[in-house]
Amino acid sequence: MTQTTSERYRVKPIRDRRREWPFPLNLYQTAVGRKWVMAVTGIGLLGFVLIHMIGNLHVYEGPAKMHEYAESLKNLGSGILPRSLILWLLRLSLMVMFGLHLHSAITLKEMSRKSSLNASFQSGEKKYEGGREYIAASYASRTMRWTGPIIALFLIYHLADMTWGWWLGNEFVPGDPYHNLYSSLSRIPVAIFYVIANMALAWHIFHGAWSMFQSLGINNPKYNHLRRGFAASFAGLILLGNLSFPIMTQANLIDEEERLCQVSIGDTDEILACLTKQLEDH
């Protein structure tokens, strides 16, 4: 039997098809499924970013309201469930979403790298030695893999800074977010870092919030033209809200001079009691 030409020259697959995992894990086996996971987790993270930003706007109502907001998060569902349970569940799902988003991004990137780089026998790393002219790919879409890590690093810093208080040391008052925010963002380098990171976040959302419609296949000629606008306004809104915190702190619109419950009055419990009382008096 002679070999068919397609057998002789059949281009070998660059990856083998693996045995299919049971549903729903099989969704995560293919790139299309993984992009879907990225989009779904992206939506979750977008929701978080939006609510986080809106919640933080309480800072403009003063330390007491900010304290109340923080308490209300812990009290979510507390009429029925143990206090903080819902908050922890939310945190857990955020961590899972973040982990999946990150893992799928890294593995998909690797898959693309294996399919396109070294494509020329000699040229090595670059796909086209003669250069590449981009027409449609926006700066945002091409920099997802840079804005992503910036956001991830920022997130760790941000948690360490505002939740765990590693860098504020004695200045850190658990349960008094107003104070913590002020103490952190009043330092110029920190404020600059926040500005940069949030710009990266908005940049990331600008492509991501459009791209997710494609990945999920949410598509209808009737509203397709709105998708870009949605992504741009969402990114703009987040940028505006989040940038206001470092900028307003630096502009002294967020400050502690006229604060009723000065941090110097005593230990954490005393401060928090003062804030609670202030709310009740109001």
Using CB under 8 A, list all residues that contact other proteins: 2, 4-6, 8-11, 13-17, 23-24, 26-27, 30-36, 108-109, 111-116, 118-122, 127-138, 141-142, 144, 207, 210-211, 213-219, 221, 224
Which residue from 76, 53, 75, 9 is spatially nearest to 245, judged by alpha carbons?
53
Please state the closest distance from residue 92 (CB atom) to other proteins, in A: 25
Residue whose CB is less far from other proteins, 79 or 131: 131
From the CB of 72, what's the least distance to other proteins, in Å? Answer: 37
Nearer to other proteins, 23 or 170 (CB): 23
CB nearer to other proteins: pick between 111 and 150:
111
Which one, 34 or 67, has the nearer CB to other proteins?
34
Structure tokens at 248: 């307003």
CB of 237 to other proteins, least distance (A): 21
Instruction: Please say which residue, 62 or 208, places its beta carbon nearer to other proteins.
Output: 208
Nearer to other proteins, 225 or 282 (CB): 225
Minimum Å gap between C-beta 211 and other proteins is: 4
Q: How far is the CB of 45 from other proteins (least distance, A)?
A: 17
CB of 101 to other proteins, least distance (A): 14
DSSP the chain: -PPPHHHHH-PPPSSPPPPPPSTTGGGGGSHHHHHHHHHHHHHHHHHHHHHHHHHHGGGGG-HHHHHHHHHHHHTTTTTTS-TTHHHHHHHHHHHHHHHHHHHHHHHHHHHHHHHHTT-STTTTT-S-TT----SS--HHHHTHHHHHHHHHHHHHHHIIIIIS-TTTGGG--TT-HHHHHHHHHTSHHHHHHHHHHHHHHHHHHHHHHHHHHHHHT---TTTHHHHHHHHHHHHHHHHHHHHHHHHHHHTTSS-STT-SS-GGGSSHHHHHHHHHHHHHH-
